[in-house]
Chain A
């Protein structure tokens, strides 16, 4: 049962890197959102692992909060995707480049 903390952290980092790779390669906005979710959950893994490591419940509570905020973020993100689609007839994030200089 006692898995050393390093493995949890490595798992979390692996998740984070996978999510990051998704962000860097995907052009579909929905997949973008999913990749971000993966990264958020990587953080959650860390929170929970360290909560157990320190024997303190705060980390767990924070993980709950992070999930709630992730839900809010997804709601907004989906709204943005909708607008994106309406304006560009596409959900490719490389298309709307007009907001730069």
Chain B
């Protein structure tokens, strides 16, 4: 079912106005800020990627000495912290996704044998194909909504 892009007023008018107003305000400020015309940029001949890598692992000795890339701080500690945070997030996601049935923890990604199809469909969202497809379709329709709205706005 395809609809012609329409400007939907009503519920999304106020958010739209807000977003546009924010953009306008920030754009005004940006345009009124006197940035230098010239970007400093990075000198040619130095691999930015490898410089970043060295910075991440505190390999100060390997960094290009004569290049004109400004002093890059060592980031090993931050890197490790982020690693820990990611790990924690993974654990947290697993904990959140884990279901408990009658006090027994059930693995998030395994389907229980002997469960009725009806309950499987509704309970094990991530695991079953059917619900996964439904979710995809929902996402698609939402995406088309976005497209429709942005089309309407422009």
Contact = CB atoms under 8 A, between A and B. Distances in A.
Q: Do chains A and B touch in the complex (CB under 8 A)?
A: yes
Interface string A10-23: 10011011101110
Contacts of A24: 12, 14-16, 18-19
Interface class of chain B by DSSP: helix
Contacts of B99: 86
A89 B118 CA distance: 14
B75 to A, nearest CB: 6
Given A2-B39, A25-B11, A13 B26 contact: yes
| Highest count of chain B CB atoms <10 Å: which of A10, A17, A71, A86 | A17
Contacts, number: 144
| Highest count of chain A CB atoms <10 Å: which of B70, B88, B126 | B70
Interface string B57-85: 00000000000111011010011001001
B40 A25 contact: no
Given A2-B39, A89-B122, A13 B30 contact: yes
Given A10-B27, A10-B30, A13-B27, A31 B139 contact: yes
A52 B36 CA distance: 13
Contacts of A52: 39-42
Contacts of B72: 56-58, 61
Nearest to B126: A82
Contacts of A68: 82, 85-86
B92 interface: yes
Contacts of A72: 85-86, 88-90
* Interface range on chain B (Cβ under 8 Å from partner): 35 or more
A14 B56 CA distance: 30
14 contacts: A5-B39, A10-B27, A13-B30, A25-B11, A26-B142, A53-B39, A55-B42, A56-B70, A61-B75, A68-B82, A69-B85, A78-B97, A79-B93, A83-B97
Interface of A: 2, 4-6, 9-10, 13-14, 16-18, 20-22, 24-26, 28, 30-31, 52-58, 60-61, 64-65, 68-69, 71-73, 75-76, 78-80, 82-83, 85-86, 89
